[in-house]
Amino acid sequence: MKQVRIKDIAQKANVSIGTVDRVLHNRGEVAPKTREKVLSIAKEMNYQPNIVAQALTTRKTYRISVLIPRGGNDNIYWLSHPKGIEKAVKELHPFLVEIDYCLFELHNEADFLKRTEDILNNLPDGVILAPILKKEAIQFCKKLDSQKIPYIFIDTFIDQTNCVSFIGEDAFQGGRVAASLIDYGLPAEKDILIVNLAKDLENTQHLNRRNQGFLSYFLDSGKNTGMKITVEIPVTEQSVVDQKLDSIFQQNANIGAILVSSAKTHVIARYVEKRDLKTILVGYEVTKKNVEYLKKGIIHFLIGQKPMEQSEKAVKRLFEFLTTHSISLEHEFQPVEIINTETITMF
C-alpha cells in the first residue's frame, strides 16, 4: 500500500493542496464544508504525514522541556536522566530536538514552582516531568493542558491528568527481586530487617510498593522462614540511625540480612561497616555512595531501574507523539536490574 500524500487528498476533494494543509493543521480560513470533506477523506485514506518531507521544509526544532530534580554526586539517579535524554536526542538525529533542562531542588516546592513558570513562559512543544510533588504537579499539568502542551511523566505516576504516557519503575517487582536475592544467600531460619529510611517528604509511595513486593515474595515463593522486622527511621543522621539500629540488634541476635527500601542504603552500609556485621545488605539505586559500599563488599546487591533508559524512552515517545500525534503504548514499567560488584564495572 503506497503512501498517501496531501496531493492525493487534494485531488479527491477537488481542492488545492494548500487547503488540505490548512485543514490538517487547523490553520483556519477554511469553509466548514470543505474542512469536513477534507478531514473525512484524509481519514478514509488513512493519511500519515511524511515526516521526512515535513522536517525538510519546516526545519523545525522540537523544543522539549525537562522538569526533574537536580542530580548530584550523591544523586546519580537524577544525574543519569540527562544522559539518557542526550542519547535519545542523538538517536533522533537528523531530526532536531532541543532540550531545555529545568532542574529543581528536590523537595523544594518554591523552586519547583519557579521552574514551572519558566516552562510556561517558554512554551515548549512538549514537557517531560517527574511529578514528585503531587499537588504542584497537578496544577502545572492543568496549565499545560490549557496551553495544549503535551507531557509525559517519568519516575512517578499521578492520576487526574492528561499525560500522554508514563515511564517508570516497577517498584513492586523491584521489591520481589530484592527479596529473592536475600532469600538465595540467607540461611532459611535467619531473620530479615527491613529499614525504611526516608525523610518525610520523600516519595514514600515507591518505598511502600517495594516493601509490599518484598513481603509478597516470602508469602508465595521464599524459603526463608525467619521473622521480617520492619523499622522506620525518618531521618538520615548517622548518629540517630546508629542508635536506633543498635537497639534493634540488641533485641535481635538472629538478623542475617538487611533490606533498605530507599536509595539511602549507604547510611546503613556505614553502620554495618562500623559494627563489623556479617549481615547481607541489599538496597536500591546506583548512587555513588552506594556503589562505594558495593565495591567494599558491604552492600551485596543494588536494585536498579535503569534511569538512563527511562528518560531515553520518554524523549522518543514524546517525539513520536509530537510528530505523529499517536502513541503506541501508554504506560510502561522499566525492567528491574540486578547490580553487584561484577556488573558495576562500567562505573
Partner DNA sequence: CTGAAAGCGCTTACAG
Contact 300, 340 (CB under 8 A): yes
**Paired sense of beta strands 337-339 and 301-304, if any:** antiparallel
Nearest to 124 by CA among 143, 105, 110, 104: 143
Report if residue 96 touches DNA, rule: CB under 7 A.
no
- Which option in its own copies, DNA, none does residue 221 bind, with CB closer than 5 to 8 A by kind? its own copies
Closest to DNA by CB, 114 vs 325, is 325
Q: Which residues pair with 105 in a beta bridge?
A: none
Pick what 278 binds: its own copies, DNA, none; C-beta below 5 to 8 Å, kind-dependent.
none
Residue with cell 528518560: 311
Q: Binding partner of residue 345 among its own copies, DNA, none, CB under 5 to 8 Å per kind?
A: its own copies
Residue 7 interaction partner, one of its own copies, DNA, none, beta carbon < 5-8 Å per kind: DNA
* Residues in 228-287 that interact with its own copies by CB under 8 A: none
Site string for DNA, 49-68 (x = CB under 7 A): xx--xx-xxxx---------
User: Which span (33-41, 154-162, 254-262, 329-337) binds its own copies, by CB under 8 A?
Assistant: 329-337
Closest approach, Cβ 91 to DNA, in A, equals: 21
Task: Report CA-CA distances (Å) from 92 to 149, 240, 306, 318.
Answer: 20, 49, 20, 11
CB of 188 to its own copies, least distance (A): 12
User: Under rule CB under 8 A, which residues in 149-208 are in contact with its own copies?
Assistant: 173, 176-177, 179-181, 184-185
State which residue, 253 or 346, has the beta carbon closest to its own copies.
346
- Side-by-side strand order, sheet with 301-304: 228-233, 191-197, 255-260, 280-284, 301-304, 337-339
Distances, alpha carbon 52 to alpha carbons 57, 323, 327, in Å: 9, 10, 19
- Provide the H-helix boundaries in the chain: 6-13, 17-24, 32-44, 51-58, 76-92, 109-122, 134-146, 171-185, 204-220, 238-251, 265-275, 288-296, 307-324
| Pick 208 or 341: Cβ nearer its own copies | 341
Whether the CB-CB separation of 72 and 81 falls below 8 Å is answered with no
6 is an interface residue for DNA by CB under 7 A: yes
Which of DNA, its own copies, none sits in contact with 22, Cβ below 5 to 8 A by type?
Answer: DNA
# chain residues binding its own copies, by CB under 8 A: 32
Contact string 71-100 vs its own copies (x = CB under 8 A): --------------------x--xx-----
Q: How far is the CB of 325 from DNA (least distance, A)?
A: 12
Residue that is written with C-alpha cell 503535551 in the block: 150
Using the contact rule CB under 7 A, the part of the chain among 29-37, 95-103, 129-137, 236-244 near DNA is 29-37
Of positions 11, 12, 21, 158, contacts DNA by CB under 7 A: 21
- Residue 258 CA to residue 256 CA, distance in Å, equals 7
For residue 75, how many other CB atoms are within 10 A of its CB? 17
Q: Which residues bind its own copies (CB under 8 A)?
A: 50-53, 55-56, 91, 94-95, 173, 176-177, 179-181, 184-185, 217, 221, 300, 316, 335-343, 345-346
